[in-house]
Amino acid sequence: MNSCRSRSRNGAGRPRRPRRVSPARLDVEVSTVATAEGTDPAEGTAEEAAEGVPWTRKRTGRRPGTTLSRVAILQAAQSRFAAHGYAGASIRAIAQDAGVDAALVHHFFVSKEKLFAASIHDALNPESVVEAVLAGGSRVGGTGQRLMRAFIELWEGERTSRQMRGILRSAVSHEAAARMMREFLTQEVLMPIAAATGRTQPEVRASLAASQLIGLAMARYVLGVQPLASLSHDELVAYVGPTFQRYLTGTLPSPAQG
């Protein structure tokens, strides 16, 4: 990782403490992180200038080194969280993998919980998932089937499958990770979809869809329940798509009639 500019050397390059942000919802946290990205985490030292690090030439605007460090931290975090779970991945180890000082991780992401949230957001890109699911127009059929396909893509896509397993395993064993997963799945993915359909009780619909998504993840990818784990993508879409369609857009019966 060529992000050594940000590494703390004998204390001189120690990043400033980040401004305090109140604990808040994931989307707020992510925008905070995005803002922090543009700030300068460390003053350049004479030692660094002497090394001729290229980005010392331009001292204003977003620094390539800063962006590279942030990307390197996110990648290291995703890898660590996937391999060791939330509890087993320390900020120190993530910083080491990324080739930066642990203080820089705190500067960018404030806490391990927020780093976990940012690494989920970065890996899974919820906006593009929502866009793909709503592609056919929010009120027409096929929303549930597209959600099923988007889910398969996340769990079986080369770039995201390890992340997904890491997130789920972490969420089961650690409360902070569970909270992050819950917020991400409902607030960033399913609520925008349920709201776009314009039906009653979008929160209930989003949480019902969440239960089937989480169950599929567990049964197919973690527990390996057969024959579900071997069904083709088309079979999954045909069998489970209608469940999502009903949860998101169907008439929810009155409990009195249930």
Q: Which residues contact 86 (CB under 8 A, 6 or more apart)?
A: 112, 116, 170, 171, 173, 174, 176, 177
Find the shortest distance in angstroms from Cβ 69 to its own copies: 32
CA 179, distance to chain mean position in Å, is: 12
Nearest-CA neighbor of 194 among 258, 233, 255, 252? 252
Whole-number minimum distance, CB 225 to its own copies, in Å?
A: 5
If one counts every other C-beta atom within 10 angstroms of the C-beta of residue 240, the result is 22
**Rounded-to-integer distance, Cα 4 and Cα 47, Å:** 12
Residues that bind its own copies (CB under 8 A): 145, 168-169, 171-173, 178, 181-182, 185-186, 203-204, 207-208, 210-220, 222-229, 231-232, 234-235, 237-243, 246-247, 252-258
Please state the closest distance from residue 216 (CB atom) to its own copies, in A. Answer: 5
Q: CB-wise, 44 or 242, nearer to its own copies?
A: 242
Give me the least distance between CB of 206 and its own copies, in Å please.
9
Read off the amino acid at residue 49: A
Question: Which of residues 8 and 249 has its CB atom nearest to its own copies in the complex?
Answer: 249
Peptide bond connecting 192 to the previous residue in cis, omega within 30 degrees of 0: no
Residue type, 213: L
Contact assessment for residue 142 and residue 56, using Cβ atoms and an 8 Å cutoff: no
The two tokens of residue 232 are 């083709």
Instruction: Supply the minimum distance, in Å, between the C-beta of residue 171 and its own copies.
Output: 6
For its own copies, the closer of residues 10 and 232 by Cβ is 232
